[in-house]
Amino acid sequence: MIRAAPRLLDGLVARLPRIAAALDGFPYYGAGKGARWITVADGGWVGGFWAGLLWLSWAWSGASAARQLAEEWTARLAPRRLDRTTHDLGFLFEPSCVRAWRLTQDPQYRAWARDAATTLSSRVQPAGYLPAHGVPEDTRTRRLALIDTLMNLPLLWWAAREGAPAAAEAADRHLTFSLQAFFRPDGSTWQVVHVDPVSGTVQERGTLQGAGPGSCWSRGQAWAIYGCARAFAETRHAEALAGADAAARYFLDHLPADGVPAWDFAAAGRAPKDTSAGAVAAAGLLLLASHHPAPGIQRRYRDAAYAMLSALETWLLPDDAYGLLGGGCYFLARGEGVDEPCAWGDYYLVEALLRAAGHAAVQSE
């Protein structure tokens, strides 16, 4: 797989202009066995993956048409930078605008990303966490925190380096909260925590998309690997490294023999796969390996990521398909995006391949 990464990347990014031409909004998840994308006009929580994928394609190919597409789709996201109703501003603006700023040094992307970071950091609650949904003052929604939010923190650490120190404080506080609230002693994670917004007392733990309250949803576990790895890269906090190691050990110890996780680890062998969880985990393991202080653990994580990418290669869709990576699982209970491509699966697959190839566009992260 690693020797083949450049060839695979050439083929995957070559598909994107054709896929873009057929879209009526940001791709979300597949519907109908290769028929089409379910799309979302304003980007939803996933628009940054499509824009970010286009920026990665330009970084790899250097094609002017790829840059033009990346610019067009990133501009469509810009109005969301002031959206106070969601924690997903990191998902939206870090792969798109922060990466665009790094690649082009265009100050417009820096300004949009800084606005988004200011909006996101304003969500922090007295107890030190970022609620998932609703305006931060809404007493009906501000008690809900998700493991996914770890993936939104890099936007805040970036903004702190760009002159917004309050953003780092918000990110650090949410990281501390997450390491205490979401991790079980065996390294597995809950997806959902309900918490008192003032005292920080955890009132309930469970899941929205997993098999049950006590199970381990594989994509949430992958978010934990990547999120803690990125937190360690950004902060060098020992607690973040410990969290990343714990999440990685659990994920790898519970992978099936074929190297592709089930949608939930508690349902292995009798549940749909989620290749998108595998793609996120592979990218996260390569990121973690690049920053880990222990050479032996670095090698283990790289080898595991390479094996997972090799396993995912068998799930690549045909060249004329509307997505890149089949076999994802967005929301099983609602029957949405089951055994289909998902926007984040496509994005993290390409990111992981670029990390495997040692490309500068991702090595600086």
Q: Find all residues with CB under 8 Å of 335, minimum gap 6, and list them.
A: none
DSSP element (H, E) containing 204: strand 202-206
Cα distance between the two ends of the chain: 22
Q: Decide if 24 is catalytic.
A: no
The band of 34, judged by pLDDT with boundaries at 50, 70 and 90, is low
The band of 78, judged by pLDDT with boundaries at 50, 70 and 90, is very high
- pLDDT exceeds cutoff 80 at 3: no
For 166-200, what is each residue's pLDDT tens digit? Answer: 899 999 999 999 999 999 999 999 999 999 999 99
- How far apart CA 75 and CA 333 sit, in angstroms, is 34
- pLDDT exceeds cutoff 80 at 145: yes
According to DSSP, the residues that pair with 38 across neighbouring strands are 29
According to DSSP, the residues that pair with 31 across neighbouring strands are 36
pLDDT at position 363 is 81
| Dihedral over Cα of 38, 40, 45, 48: its sign | positive
CATH for the stretch 5-363: 1.50.10.10
* Domain ranges across the chain: 5-363
The band of 76, judged by pLDDT with boundaries at 50, 70 and 90, is very high
Choosing from 24, 42, 83, 88, which is the catalytic residue?
Answer: 88
Instruction: Find, among 125, 228, 114, 111, the residue nearest to 178 by Cα.
Output: 228
Residue 204 backbone dihedrals phi, psi, to 5 degrees: -165, 145
CA gyration radius for the chain? Answer: 19
- pLDDT exceeds cutoff 80 at 35: no
Q: Decide if 88 is catalytic.
A: yes
- How far apart CA 211 and CA 209 sit, in angstroms, is 7
343, 52 contact by CB (below 8 A) = no
Mean pLDDT of 51-70: 97
| CB-count exposure of residue 64 (10 Å: 0-12, 13-18, 19+) | exposed
213, 236 contact by CB (below 8 A) = no
CA dihedral 291, 292, 293, 299 (to 10 degrees): -120
pLDDT at position 361 is 92
Choosing from 115, 148, 245, 264, which is the catalytic residue?
Answer: 148
- pLDDT exceeds cutoff 60 at 99: yes
For 217-243, what is each residue's pLDDT tens digit? Answer: 999 999 999 999 999 999 999 999 999
The band of 96, judged by pLDDT with boundaries at 50, 70 and 90, is very high
